[in-house]
Structure formats: C-alpha cells, structure tokens
Structure 1
Amino acid sequence: MNLSAALERAAAKQGEKAAYYFLNETSTYEELNKAVHKFASGLKALGIQKGDHIALIVGNSPEFIIGLYGALRAGATVIPVNPLYSPGEMSYILQNGDAKAVIMLDVLVPLADKIAEALPFVEHYIICETKDERTKEASPEMFSICRKMKTFSSVLDKGLPSFQPPDVSEEDTAVILYTSGTTGKPKGAMLTHKNLYSNARDIGSYLQFSDKDRIITALPMFHVFCLSVCLNAPLISGATMIIFPKFSPRAVFAQARQHKATVFAGVPTMYNFLYQSDEGHPEDLASLRLCISGGSSMPVALLENFEEKFHVKISEGYGLSEASPVAAFNPLDRPRKAGSIGCSIMNVENKVVNEQGEELPAGEVGELIVRGPNVMKGYYKQPEYTAAALKNGWLYTGDLARKDEEGYFYIVDRKKDLIIVGGYNVYPREVEEVLYSHPYVIEAAVFGVPDPDYGEAVLAFVVPKDEKLTKEELLDYCRSRLADYKLPAQVEFLEELPKNTTGKILRRALKQQVLQR
C-alpha cells in the first residue's frame, strides 16, 4: 500500500499513455517511472538511506514529481516546502524536520547559503536548473555550500536501472507536511504511506477518476490539496495531469480548451479569479465533467455565479493536512448541496461532537472530528500537540460544523475564529456569505476585535468591484439580512486581501495587522 508501487503498476499497465503535460513537455507513464527509479538509485548513491528526511523545495514541475516519488521509492521521508517562504520560515522547517538533503530550485541557492550555518546536518543540496535569468551571473564557487551541491540531472544520470528499493512498511512515515502555523510555529504532520495511498485511492474512486481523465494541476504541488487530489490520485487512476508552473486564468482557459481537460481543482480565490476574468468563455471549460473546490469554504454567491457563467457544477469537499487531506466531499451520485462539504468519503468517518466528545444530533453545531486510514500518526517531535489532536482514534479538527438529516456536513467556521458579541455567537463565514452576495463585492474577510462594551465587535474588510459602492450602502445591505449583533461595527475597503500561495485568504494575518495598529 504505497504510491511508488502504484506508479509502477500504472506504468506496467499503460506505459505509453501520457502521465503529464508540462509546458512543451510530455512524459509517458513508462518514462516517468524510469526517471523515478533512476532518481531513487541516484539518492542511494549519495548515501541517502531508508528513513532519512529530504526537503523538497520545488515548484510545480516534473522535478517535483520525480523528486517526491524517487525519494519515496528510496525509502526516504519527504518534507515539501513552499519555495516562497522566507529564510526564517525555511530554516525552521529544515531544522525541525531534520533534513539530511534538500532538493531545491537554483534561484534559491543564495537563500540556502544564507541559512546554511544553521543547517550543518544538511549533507546534500540537489539543485533543479530553471535557467532563470537571476542565476546566470552566479557560479557555484560563490557559495559556501558549493561542495554540497549537485544538480538534479546529475543525480538522475547516476541512477541505475538495477536499483533494488528497500522494503517499506505502510506505517512508515512517507511525508511530513508542515501546517501553516496559525497558532504559533508550524507543526509537522507525519503522514504514512498508508495515509497517502488510501486517501488518493479513496478520493479518486469517490470522484470517479479514470484513465480517460485529464486533470488540471494548477494548485501548488507542495500543498496537500494538490498533492493528493491533483497528483497522487491521478497517477493511481492512470489519468493525465496538465501541470501549470503557476495559476493563471488565461493559461487555464487555453490549456483546458487545448487538452480537453475533464477535471479542475482549485480554492475559492482561484474560482473568483476565473469568474472575474474577461478572457474566459463557457466553451473554454466545456469539456470539464467536474470542478472541485477545497482549501477553504466557498461563498455560495460565488459558486452560483461561476456555475451560471460557465455552465459547470462545482463540488465542494473538506480536508486538512492531518487527514492527508480529504475527509468529506459532495457525492456525484446524489444531489450537490451548495454550501455543504458533502458526506464522508469511503473508509472515512466524520461526526460533530460537543466539548465532552459526545456526538450531537443533526442541526446542532459542534467540533468536527475525523477517523480513518487517512489520519496522521502524529506531529513530528511534538507529543503534546499530538495528544491534543488525536483522542481515542479520532482527529479533532478545530472546525465548527453541523450535519443535516441526510448526512451532509456544513463547516460553520474555525473554532478559534468564533466571535462572541455580547454573549451571542457570530460565525465570520455567515457574515462573509452576506457580503459576497452583494453584486459589487469581489472578496471579503470578517473577524472579531476587542470591544469594551460587548467583549468583541465584528470587523469586515472588503474588496469592492465598483468604486461607487459606499460603506453605508454595504451596511444597509447587511442590516436587512443579519441580526443586529452580527452586523459589522466597521467596514474597511482594500484593493486586495492578503492570501497564501494557494490563494486562501489570510483572515488571521489581517486581524493581526489590525490589532498591531
């Protein structure tokens, strides 16, 4: 039960089929599997042993796939890292994750050199050549880590077809995914081979992936949403990936039309960009059989507007890094419910509980907890956080949810984002839904700030579509749709909202900025 073996099976079954398209490149399953095998052999030649940790700091590219699957085949544990992280963020993850080797883009070599003193245990820097203009004037001799540097292609070339991979247990740690660290330093969720394989298999089956699918892979591969839904699940299913170096509405429309894409997966912000773009037309996405949304809750108004414009339905799901990630999804064989994350996927259980861990009846709001073969084994080197998250076989997500009579779940909000105004509960998402429904609102973020009279007050940040929109008009619009205690005490207009690299709106970062004023 592991991804590397699944790729070998796919290559044996349909070796000549395209595994991916990337810019002007195409690779068959047989070619991809051979590259993975040679890279695994090349890692062994460098002294990488089973259980060693390898950081993967690479953007969407064939090198990411070969690096990931090659390291897994060599028995190593992979730590995917966002290439846009600051030196401090990157240094912390490499230190905490005990990385022995780093696979990274050549443009990041100066950054790696800057933090190298804090990383004496890193023995190898494997450099992916991007032919970026910024690297032309730099030579390896300029950097203190040059003696530890090898090119990705040289490691690949030194690999042997006769390489015999080590035996890997399904309970061995395959990947350590560092969470966003909204409550402090990032925590490394340890995902086993069983976790990743089972979730890729189950979500692929649930969404009916097949070798006829062509899946747009525009989300960042280092993020668990893309990793499982747009990379692992397609490869297990024999599908073809259409890989984008980065998300661009124009490129998505063009590539979807050219390759007759059948599946698109994105976060709500990506759908918003596609919807707001003047370049997209219904015929561009006419071949899609399925649109997938995850990462954060999609405003119902955006979902309905997108579907009306492009004539394709969006199915929302739910997941988190600690669950590899998918736990629930709107079913394809039953009605899709707007605003719902759907039902439990196969082999995974979800339930809503109170503070005592007792399951709540349909309609009541409580914490969502998850159980299944996809749930992590724990946080790396952080037993106290592991004990708080994993209780009696269940993963406590920290998300507030409710379930309806038909078994569909609805995320109400993050438990830590709940606003209490004069003793009344206000869920930011509920207020955001109303704001998004206004025709002149592009984006919105709502959170609570301290208030001397009511404990907390509701604050809203909005990106307006039309400069004629006034704050007073927007508040009047909310007043007719929300109880008084849920109304924003203040509305501020911005040109854009802060987002992470997956496009998720950083509500807490915005709140932190406000509190520091």
Structure 2
Amino acid sequence: MAEERPWIKNYPSGVPANIDPNQYNTINEFAADCFKKYKNQKAFECMGKAITYGELDKMSTNFGAYLHSRGLEPGDKIALMMPNLLQFPIAFFGALKAGLIVVNTNPLYTAREMKHQFTDSKVSAIVIVENFASNLEKIIGDTNIKTIITTTIGEMLGMKGHIVNFVVKSVKKMVPKFELQNTVKFKDALSQGKKFVIKDFNSDHDTVILHQYTGGTTGVSKGAMLTNKNMIANMLQIKAWLGEHVPEGAVSLSPLPLYHIFACTVNCLSMMACGAHNVLVTNARDLPSVIKEFKNHDVALFTGLNTLFNALLNHKDFASAGFEHLKITVGGGMAVQTAVAEKWEKVTGCRLSEGYGMTESSPVVTINPIDGTARLGTIGMPVSSTDVRILGEDGTVQPVGGIGEIQVQGPQVMKGYYNRPDETVKTIVDGWLCTGDIGSMDEDGFFRIVDRKKDMILVSGFNVYPNEIEGILAAHPKILESAAIGIPDEKSGEVVKIFVVKKDKSLTEDEIKAYCRENMTGYKIPKVIEFRDELPKSNVGKILRRELRDEKKS
C-alpha cells in the first residue's frame, strides 16, 4: 500500500480505513452465517413470490447435492444463464456449496458468444432458461457440457408461474423450439437432490469461485478469476460503506442482472450481509415493471446505471412511484451524467452516489459517500483497504489534479485471467491493476473518470473525452441519449461524431451545433451529427461506442 491515502481523513463517520477479509474463509462460510442469522427473513423476491434465507439455504443445498450426484466435482465449471429469477441465487449458492466454479453468462448472448465463453472456460454443466436453449443447441457439440438443467421464467413462482409460462410461451412466443438431449428440469434437480448429500472438499481464500467474463467492450471477452477472498473482501468493503444505512429487512430493488458482477456483489452478497430483502426485476428494460416494484415496496436501496436512471426519469409514471423510504441510490457500470444525477435527486429526494469498478476488481473500487456528502461528477473515494493512484504516460505517479491511468491495489483485485497469462501480466503490473481508464484525483481523495483510454479522440493533438461531450449533451432538454466517437479526418487526424436519440422530435442539427458552440471549446465541437432511434447497448444498458465505431469501418 502507498503511504499516502488522502481520502481516509474524508471517510464518512463509521467507515473503517481497512476491512478484515479473514472474517470468513469462504463465501460458503459467509452464506451459512447469513442463512442462520436471518433464517425467517425474506431473502429474495421475484414477481411477487418470496423465499426466506432459510428456504434459500435448503434449496441451494439440494441443488449442490444434485450436482455431485451427477458426477460433477469441485473445481468443475457451471454456467448460469438466466435473467433475474429466484432460480439464480438457488443455483449460485448451490454450485458454490458443491465447490463448483460459477461462470455467469448473459442470456442474451448469441450462439457464437456462448461458444466462446463455454469453450474458453471449459464449462461442463449449465442452468439455462428455456427461452435461450435453442442457441445452446446450435453449439452444444462444440463444448464439454454434459449436464443441462433447464428452467422456465415461471418455474419457481407457484400457481402464478403457470400463467407466466403460458404468456411467455403461447402469447409472446418467446421460447424458440429446441431439442436438447438428456435435460433435467430445475425443480426436478432440487427434488432429486434431497436424496443425496454434498461431499466434503477443501476450499480456502485463494480458491477461484467465479469466472466472470469481462464486458468485451474493448476486445475479446476474458474470464476474470475471482477467489473467495476477492468476493469476501468486496462484500465487506461495500457493507462497510452502506451497512448502517441498510437496516435488517430493508428492501433492496435489483433491476440489474445478478449474472453481472455489479449486481452479483452489491445486490446479492452485500445486501445479504445486511439481511436485506432483495426484490429482483426480471427485465430492467420493462420500465413499468421497475416502477411497479417501487409502488409495491418501501424501497430503501436502488442500484442502476445512467441509461436506466435516465429512462425512468423520462417515463410518465415514475415521478408518482413514491420514494419516501429511498435512502441509497448507487450508480455504476458507466459514467453517471451530472444532468441525470441532479434530476434524480430532484424527483426522488435521494442523492445519486456514483461508484466505480470493473470485473477484474470484483467489482467495486471507489464509491461516493451516501451520507449526503457525495460529489456530483466524481466516482467517489477508494473503498476500505484499497489504494488507487494515477499513473501518467511517462510512468510517474501524478500529483493532485494530474491526469493519467487509474491503477488499483486491494484484496478485491482478481487472481488473473483464466488461461491468459499473457493478458494477466499486461493488466496486473507490479501488483497494480491497470484499469485502462483515464482519471484524476482531487486534494480530498475524490476521483474523477475522464474516459476509457481506447475511447479517447485525438483532434489535432488535443485529447477529447467522449464522456465530457455526452455529459454536456445530456443537459440539453431535447436530447434523450447520445454517444460520441472519433472518425478519421485528413486535417486534424480525427474529429468528433455524435449519435443522438431525440427526446423532442423538433430537435435539429443546427440547434445542437449552436448549443455545442456555447458549451465547448472549438476542437471538441462535433463535426458530424447522426440522429438514431436508439443506440446499441450492452446487456446492462451501457452504450457501446465500439459498435458505433465498428459500423464506420465495415
């Protein structure tokens, strides 16, 4: 650890400088503690159906025992491919109880993306929602997958589940035909698991429990190996920051998918540590379903990302959803725009605290205080036991205000990339995780992201950061969303091009140019403007500038 940690003196009251990851040896030990402590409390709820911590304990044990009965051994990999459903935490903790390595998989992946992840990770078992099974069928022969557990959206919802499944299958026709061999239904696996026991196995701090694939927004997706210690540490770091603001039984609304590392660590693990009641939203793009949960519950904590906050704020029913219990709103995954954060606080009365992290750091590195001292436009301060520095292009650590690459040290930093020692040594250098993000630190230890290294636009030798352009455009009343990229230019090397989704149909190119001239210096002003009905987004709603850049090349 570096000697200088200027942020410590500005930590909110009660937040420790360091956490002790030795509090638990494994995530299983941590989970057992939660299951016992909060046995009769609601743990997870989905579409109105809730299970308690005690029920989750029993069902996950049955699931783990079933996996062992199928010949799966500790260290084998199991893919979990589903949206937010009650099946997720059951399968997740069941797999960990059996000593398996969980490979979280985005259900919206194409067959090609599935094949890459399953062969790269050497997956031998999968839990998959039927809606996506036809894609698995296309590539199953190219994988080592022998155990296939299928489930339906409504399977764990009781009587209501039959209606849900009827609508999904027969009305909305969301389940393409598939003919996978030797599959077993999720409920049957739970039922059969009751006849077996989980065999003993060794696991410690350094045991890998997750292969969490990077978003692939900057190239091929790689499997970050996350250990018991990584996940315990990040869970304790988040709990230290949020804990006293989340009373036992408080409702945490989870629209972001648990297969994504942000929700997996923050909503699943850290909220369990607080004994919270996690309400899962199966499809966050279905805004009425998110708003409905706000109306049905006294939501105390809400996690999301800029595009979701922005979409909710622009929905006619959101302002009347009721926010008197909302104490914490945390934004991650992408930069939260100041205009969005200001409007969120105005509408909900709750300050939006932006955090920062990446898959390789389990994921949380920094977070804004939630005691009212959050600073808009910053990503907050490093969490406990974490050191962050800014390294300039010349290889020197930058002073306050200097711009350079954000680098991280802490117990939450991954072991490395699975089977990619070459990529690991490029990313972890002298014990520092090189994030590829450009940022700066102010004198109080608050950090600011300027942009991704690879997204930076170079105009006549000047660095232009898309985040800044998009942040300015977000404040325009007629713009819903925007994305900025660099395109080649003979004179200046590159110029800025923006893609704009209108909020008001009357918006013109001339209006945008006039607005930009008023709000940004000459070389930053977009030279090309293209209107779109929508922008390409990742599974969690992050705008994919890479796809927009690639369009231009093809």
Tell me if TM exceeds 0.5: yes
Does 1:150 find its partner at 2:146? no
- How do 1:69-218 residues align onto structure 2 when only pairs under 5 Å count? 69-119=93-143, 121-130=144-153, 132=165, 145-147=180-182, 149-160=183-194, 162-208=197-243, 209-218=246-255
Indicate the SS of the match to 2:318: coil
Question: How far is 1:165 from its partner?
Answer: 4.2
Counterpart-to-counterpart distance in 2, 1:453 and 1:366: 27
Question: How far is 1:143 from its partner?
Answer: 6.2
Stretch deviating more after TM superposition (262-271 or 192-201): 192-201
- Opposite residue 130 of structure 1, the aligned amino acid is I
Stretch deviating more after TM superposition (202-211 or 484-493): 202-211
Sequence identity percentage: 33
Question: How far is 1:250 from its partner?
Answer: 2.2
Match of 2:12?
A: none
Counterpart-to-counterpart distance in 2, 1:184 and 1:280: 36
Which of 16, 23, 27 is the equivalent residue of 2:40? Answer: 16
Counterpart-to-counterpart distance in 1, 2:485 and 2:49: 45
Contact 1:73/1:165, CA 8 A, preserved across alignment: no
Question: How far is 1:251 from its partner?
Answer: 2.4
- Opposite residue 423 of structure 2, the aligned amino acid is Y
- Opposite residue 166 of structure 1, the aligned amino acid is F
Counterpart-to-counterpart distance in 1, 2:288 and 2:321: 14
Contact 1:20/1:27, CA 8 A, preserved across alignment: yes
Does 1:240 find its partner at 2:277? yes
The TM-score, its normalising length taken from structure 1, stands at 0.95
Match of 1:487?
A: 525
Does 1:330 find its partner at 2:354? no
Does 1:56 find its partner at 2:101? no
Indicate the SS of the match to 2:538: coil
Contact 2:83/2:257, CA 8 A, preserved across alignment: yes
Counterpart-to-counterpart distance in 2, 1:334 and 1:184: 38
Question: How far is 1:164 from its partner?
Answer: 4.6
Question: How far is 1:80 from its partner?
Answer: 0.6
* Cα-to-partner distance string for 1:213-233 (whole Å, 9 max, x where unaligned): 210011011111111111111
Question: How far is 1:275 from its partner?
Answer: 0.3
Counterpart-to-counterpart distance in 2, 1:389 and 1:445: 27
Counterpart-to-counterpart distance in 2, 1:334 and 1:290: 10
Contact 1:254/1:284, CA 8 A, preserved across alignment: no
Counterpart-to-counterpart distance in 2, 1:5 and 1:355: 43
Stretch deviating more after TM superposition (290-299 or 495-504): 495-504
Match of 2:486?
A: 448
Counterpart-to-counterpart distance in 2, 1:172 and 1:38: 23
Contact 2:460/2:493, CA 8 A, preserved across alignment: yes
Question: How far is 1:249 from its partner?
Answer: 2.8
Structure 2 unaligned blocks of 5 or more: 1-24, 155-164
* Cα-to-partner distance string for 1:252-277 (whole Å, 9 max, x where unaligned): 22212322010000010110111000
- Opposite residue 222 of structure 1, the aligned amino acid is Y
Question: How far is 1:418 from its partner?
Answer: 0.9
Counterpart-to-counterpart distance in 1, 2:89 and 2:56: 9
Question: How far is 1:240 from its partner?
Answer: 0.9
Counterpart-to-counterpart distance in 1, 2:53 and 2:71: 27
Which of 486, 499, 502 is the equivalent residue of 1:461? Answer: 499
- Opposite residue 385 of structure 2, the aligned amino acid is N
Question: How far is 1:346 from its partner?
Answer: 0.7
- How do 1:345-494 residues align onto structure 2 when only pairs under 5 Å count? 345-494=383-532
Taking structure 1 as reference, are residues 85 and 5 closer, same or farther at Cα in structure 2, changes over 3 Å only? same
Counterpart-to-counterpart distance in 2, 1:12 and 1:20: 15
Question: How far is 1:88 from its partner?
Answer: 0.6
The TM-score, its normalising length taken from structure 2, stands at 0.89
Counterpart-to-counterpart distance in 1, 2:322 and 2:530: 36
* Cα-to-partner distance string for 1:365-418 (whole Å, 9 max, x where unaligned): 100011111000111111111000001111000000000010000000001111
Stretch deviating more after TM superposition (184-193 or 270-279): 184-193
Indicate the SS of the match to 1:15: coil
Structure 1 unaligned blocks of 5 or more: none
Contact 1:282/1:309, CA 8 A, preserved across alignment: no
Contact 1:195/1:376, CA 8 A, preserved across alignment: yes
- Opposite residue 264 of structure 1, the aligned amino acid is F
Question: How far is 1:14 from its partner?
Answer: 2.2
Contact 2:482/2:501, CA 8 A, preserved across alignment: yes
Match of 1:318?
A: 356
Counterpart-to-counterpart distance in 2, 1:55 and 1:188: 12
- Opposite residue 214 of structure 1, the aligned amino acid is V
Counterpart-to-counterpart distance in 1, 2:170 and 2:336: 43
- How do 1:497-508 residues align onto structure 2 when only pairs under 5 Å count? 497-508=535-546
Contact 2:385/2:411, CA 8 A, preserved across alignment: yes
Contact 2:224/2:417, CA 8 A, preserved across alignment: yes
Relative CO higher for 1 or 2, CA cutoff 8 Å, sep ≥ 6?
Answer: 2
